[in-house]
Structure 1
Amino acid sequence: MTRRRVLVTGASAGIGRALATVYAAEGWDLILTARRKAPLDALAAELSAAHSCDARVILADLGVEGAADQLAADIQAQGLTVDGLINNAGFSRTEGFLKTPPEDQQAMIRVMLTVPVQLSRALVPGMVERSFGRVLNVASLAGRMPATGGDTLYGPIKSFMIKASQGLWLEMRGTGVHVTALCPGYTLTEFHDVNGTREEVSSAYPSWMWQTADHVARVGWRACEANRPQVTPGVMNNLMAGLAKHLPDGMALSMVGGHAKRLKRI
């Protein structure tokens, strides 16, 4: 039996690494991509040894224009078939809209919005032809909440990914291709270290609100296998999103505005 292969973007750490580990444990071969070679090589060796999978590493800086086309070309050049796509790569800038350099804003939009659309457009047709596919888009609880100041673009980008995933899920019904938007809340990864908010978020929220990347990845795997269009790990995260959805706009914005002030973003 031919093994399935999944492409994981942003696989070098955090939720991406955890998702790669889950898929390897479930019998998938891997294509791991990110900017950093050393952690990808180490992860590929670790998962190959632990799960007897074929783990390929393809370096890509998805913030560069044309990166998605180049990644697809590199995959094709190696003769690899992609049966699963995990759009996980992402980052945020919390300095505020006017203080964030325009090139950083463009990179955020490209990595977390443009590239997932381009990779899906490039790889999903083959999945449909083979009557099997998995697309897991790592969005965020932020995409289900009112936007916050400071990281002004992050929430709206994640909202787009949720809506786009839902639309693609509708289109893929009956094709054998599953599509899921994974919407984690606060997760213990490098993400907050990279954007410099680890101390603020750790003090702003109690430990019971935090989840591990391994737990989030397993929830995402199960939801995608069940072909759920969206999943948010954690009862409290779902309660907050539901509350925000039903509050009047002014009250909801005041709520998230208080959150931003606690994190010293505005």
Structure 2
Amino acid sequence: MASNRRALITGASAGIGEAFARELARRGFDVVLTARRTDRLESIAAELRERHAIEAVVAPLDLARADAAEALVAALDAQGLHIDVLVNNAGYGLTGYLDEQPWEAHAAFIQVLMTAPTELAWRLLPGMKARGYGRIINVASLAGHVPGSAGHTLYAASKAYLIKFSQSLALETKGTGVHVTALCPGFTLSEFHDVNGSRPLVSKMPGFMWMDAPTVAREGMDAVEAGKAVYVNGRVNRLIKGLFKLLPDALALKMVERQGGRFRVHGEGVGQPPA
């Protein structure tokens, strides 16, 4: 069990982020929960305090703001709250072809899924190194291991970035007491597909393709503790990753092209980040 250690979880109001908050609290970590839905965060925090006798701090924030990471870390420093575990989980899907959406939507997506996780790691890493202990989990996706698909132009690209970023950071922190893991779940039962409007499509997926968020979070914590730079949740997902790794690029891209339309929302507007 943790002792006087604290975790920061982004996108903690639902889904995998909420599951990480519960898993870390169960393991004895104090938690800082951030997302946009203050009421939801307060409800989760109150439950975790009661159930696990830990400290749970709520820090409502919109990570699409360019100054969000800096403001959050400054606020934590002002309260004397050091962070030992960072879970970069906040994310959402942006549907439609690249030129169908305004640049502002793409810029916000890049800010939330790439810039903010990188900046939070950059700002919190020195303290982790100084204390000789740190854990950084970047919630990527199986999508980062397979070719990108039409209609979700930036999603796979952003997840591939998190995987490569995590691998490099894991090497850079070797021997410092800091572990870094890119966690790569596949289809996970959460609000994600409701937010981007793809629920009716992905519901056609067979049941064995789905995982639940608590399992994803538990495996993620076990993976980072074990020092695994990249971890793919689920045997089916690991099989898919292995298959695409063996296929020639042209054939892999063709397969994604043929199957992508089954689970793509096209021309239905901009997906919004979960509150």
Task: Provide the TM-score with structure 1 as the length reference.
Answer: 0.97
Q: Give a deviation string over 1:146-177, Cα, whole Å, max 9, x none.
A: 11110010001100000000000001111000
2:269 alignment counterpart? none
2:235 aligned partner, one-letter code: V
Q: Give a deviation string over 1:58-107, Cα, whole Å, max 9, x none.
A: 11100111111111111111110111100000011112212122111111
Query: 2:185 is paired with a residue of what secondary structure?
Result: coil
Q: In the alignment, is the contact (CA less than 8 A) between 1:31 and 1:55 conserved in 2?
A: yes
Report which structure shows greater RCO (CA 8 Å, sep ≥6): 2
Query: 2:180 is paired with a residue of what secondary structure?
Result: strand
1:143 alignment counterpart? 144
1:220 alignment counterpart? 220
1:263 alignment counterpart? 263
1:44 alignment counterpart? 45
2:210 alignment counterpart? 210
1:235 alignment counterpart? 235
Query: 1:98 is paired with a residue of what secondary structure?
Result: helix
- Structure 1 distance, partners of 2:213, 2:101, is 28
1:116 alignment counterpart? 117
1:164 alignment counterpart? 165
- Structure 1 distance, partners of 2:26, 2:120, is 24
Q: Percent identity?
A: 49
- Structure 2 distance, partners of 1:100, 1:23, is 37
Q: Give a deviation string over 1:223-245, Cα, whole Å, max 9, x none.
A: 01111101111111011111112
- Structure 2 distance, partners of 1:253, 1:235, is 22
1:50-61 to 2 correspondences below 5 Å: 50-61=51-62
- Structure 2 distance, partners of 1:79, 1:189, is 33
Identify if the C-alpha distance between structure 1 residues 65 and 142 changes in structure 2 by more than 3 Å, giving closer, same or farther. Answer: same
Q: Give a deviation string over 1:177-231, Cα, whole Å, max 9, x none.
A: 011110000000000000000110111x201110000110111010011111011
2:14 aligned partner, one-letter code: A
1:50 aligned partner, one-letter code: R
5+ long unaligned stretches in structure 1: none
5+ long unaligned stretches in structure 2: 267-275
Q: In the alignment, is the contact (CA less than 8 A) between 2:198 and 2:265 conserved in 1?
A: no
2:154 alignment counterpart? 153
1:75-114 to 2 correspondences below 5 Å: 75-114=76-115
2:232 aligned partner, one-letter code: T
Equivalent residue pairs, number = 265
2:56 aligned partner, one-letter code: A
- Structure 2 distance, partners of 1:264, 1:214, is 26
1:28 aligned partner, one-letter code: F
Q: In the alignment, is the contact (CA less than 8 A) between 1:149 and 1:265 conserved in 2?
A: no
- Structure 1 distance, partners of 2:30, 2:216, is 20
- Structure 2 distance, partners of 1:259, 1:116, is 30
Task: Provide the TM-score with structure 2 as the length reference.
Answer: 0.94
1:255 aligned partner, one-letter code: M
- Structure 2 distance, partners of 1:264, 1:47, is 36
1:19 maps to 2:20: yes
CA RMSD in angstroms comes to: 1.1
2:132 aligned partner, one-letter code: S
- Structure 2 distance, partners of 1:216, 1:42, is 22
- Structure 2 distance, partners of 1:35, 1:77, is 21
1:262 aligned partner, one-letter code: R
- Structure 1 distance, partners of 2:101, 2:242, is 31
- Structure 1 distance, partners of 2:232, 2:258, is 23
Query: 1:134 is paired with a residue of what secondary structure?
Result: strand
| 1:258 CA displacement | 1.7
| 1:2 CA displacement | 4.7
